[in-house]
Chain A
């Protein structure tokens, strides 16, 4: 076995040593795992059912279309797809693959699809060659069905020692990975801000992206070392290298242990400025990690998890139980529940408003806009949050607000929810605080509307940067233009924090910037006193705060606020960090 190294961009620190597991490179990312012999029949049945369901779906679409003034063309396309799906090459062959290779249905179908796509690729006629698109579309429909109802995902032998190697990872993979404990992620594409990076950091798992060809160079179950800090990947390391990295790994673990002693220490700067450190969580189960890392509140409880990997809307009771669990678990410390931030890159099946493909999802019907357009869904969520407020200190956080009328509409919806609970004598916190996310530049520029109507604010820096710089950080071609230190971003942050502080309204940062220790002193200097971040970063940020001083940094902060380039700001931030 040849030992070699690959270089990529390290986007999530730490060292992992383990075996490679390749993830398929189909349009949809598909996992590959082995099915125990006893489950093969069930896996084949799962495939058969998915095919049947998609067939019915296509038939349903066709029925819905006939009679209307839809061109016959569309119906014909559905027929083609139905026939392709019924063709034994797609409906039967994968079963054989499942049986022979004892692999999961998704993988079997993807393999069969690749075989067919390869055959189409050899066609000389360009027009006919492109017909492979129909095959891919049909397969994707079935894959989506299968993935919506995952089979029994048997975790590979030791997950901590499994390193996932993929072309790219999608946001939909996030929740799936939360239930696993993979050792590291490696992807061909992506940057510091790609989904893989965000997921990896949030899971505290080392990750290297932009390796360009890791997926084609690395073979299944090869031994890998992934150094997420330097971006180095070593394939089939020799004994000396392995020993060296094991040592590094234990050093990292040691410093993690040391940090744990800071858990109950208040986050005060050297000059006595008190800072609140809150946690961002996605699932009620994240609570344990939150408490373990000494958070004094939950600054952002993303509620979208309720929608993932399921069909239909979560009921009020189901939501209530999830929110109450967190409210009770935090024992009187604030729990900030953000209302659904659906749309954009978080598409949910089964919601009509989202079924259509928006021309520009990031600028479309998402978050509060979507909630206001679906008043029944919104009312259900507001009632569930209000009910949970009886069991702890719950706050409501509304995403993507841009204007006073949206705030007013939201407050009216909340008043209705309160009214309906009162009518039914259901207890809730009448004085529940309502806050708004600051993530659209308009919200900062016209923040007086927010300050007069809301109880608190929280800056979502990820979106604020995206909208200020017009950069989609998930788009590899422009991701390098995404820069938290752009003067416009820094000035917007300064303005938002200053005006909130002046008005006496609490303001937090809950975007990724809050969890980056290189930016802790900058945010402190801009006047921020409440940081909300992934629990994994809480202790290192706290350590940073404990060694910072606010007053002496003021002249540097003033220069940062006046600087006209990101490079200049980066230099000044370096100086600030060296103080």
Chain B
């Protein structure tokens, strides 16, 4: 089990397309990935739930990953957040 807290750096926050990228990356791994914001928790394979986390810019997101490829998955997901989902701010 790996845990890491990242912050949302892109100005629009976790919008629909950002959520879609998280879901498509998370679905590539065998580990279970969950995200939580202010106590609300969602499976990263479930786009509607991720959208409902409503993480605006500056919010802290706690990533929890558990499974055989958790280290790799964590790197990929955390990178998404760091890059601001490919958006230039």
Give which listed residue, B13, B20, B46, B54, contacts A76 with CB less than 8 A: B20
A135 to B17, CA, bound (A): 13
Q: Does B48 contact A (CB under 8 A)?
A: yes
| Cβ–Cβ contact A135 & B13, under 8 A | no
The residue on B at minimum CB distance from A82 is: B20
Q: Check if B19 is an interface residue, CB within 8 A of chain A.
A: yes
**Which residue of B12, B16, B24, B49 is within 8 Å of A134 (Cβ)?**
B16
Cross-chain contact A89 with B19 (CB below 8 angstroms): no
Contact residues on A (Cβ < 8 Å of other chain), bracket? 20 to 34
Main secondary structure of the interface of B (DSSP, over half): helix
A87 touches B47 (CB 8 A): yes
Interface residues of A in 96-148 (CB under 8 A from B): 116, 119-120, 123-125, 127-129, 131, 134-135
Taking Cβ atoms with an 8 Å cutoff, the residues of A that contact B are: 76-77, 79-80, 83-84, 87-90, 116, 119-120, 123-125, 127-129, 131, 134-135
- A79 in contact with B15 given A84-B48, A87-B46, A89-B49 (CB within 8 Å): no
On B, residues with C-beta under 8 Å from A are 12-17, 19-20, 23-24, 46-49, 51-52, 54, 56
Q: Does A90 contact B56, Cβ atoms closer than 8 Å?
A: no
A-B contact pairs, 16 of them (CB 8 A): A77-B16, A77-B17, A79-B24, A80-B16, A83-B23, A84-B48, A87-B49, A116-B48, A116-B52, A119-B52, A120-B51, A125-B54, A127-B13, A128-B54, A131-B16, A134-B51
**With A87-B46, A87-B48, A116-B48 in contact, is A79–B20 under 8 Å at CB?**
yes
Interface of A is mostly: helix
Contacts A88-B46, A125-B13, A125-B56 hold; do A131 and B51 have CB atoms under 8 A apart? yes
Cβ B46 vs Cβ A128 within 8 A? no
Q: Name A127's closest neighbour in chain B (CB-CB).
A: B12
Residue of A nearest to B55 (CB): A128
- Nearest Cβ distance between residue B17 and chain A, in whole angstroms? 5
Q: Which residues of chain A are within 8 angstroms of B16 by Cβ–Cβ distance?
A: 77, 80, 131, 134
Q: Residue of B at shortest CB range from A124? A: B54
> Across the interface, do A127 and B15 meet the contact criterion of CB distance under 8 Å?
yes
Chain A residues whose CB sits within 8 angstroms of the CB of B51 once the complex forms:
120, 128, 131, 134
Closest 9 CB pairs of A and B: A83-B47, A80-B20, A89-B48, A125-B56, A123-B54, A87-B48, A80-B16, A128-B54, A76-B17
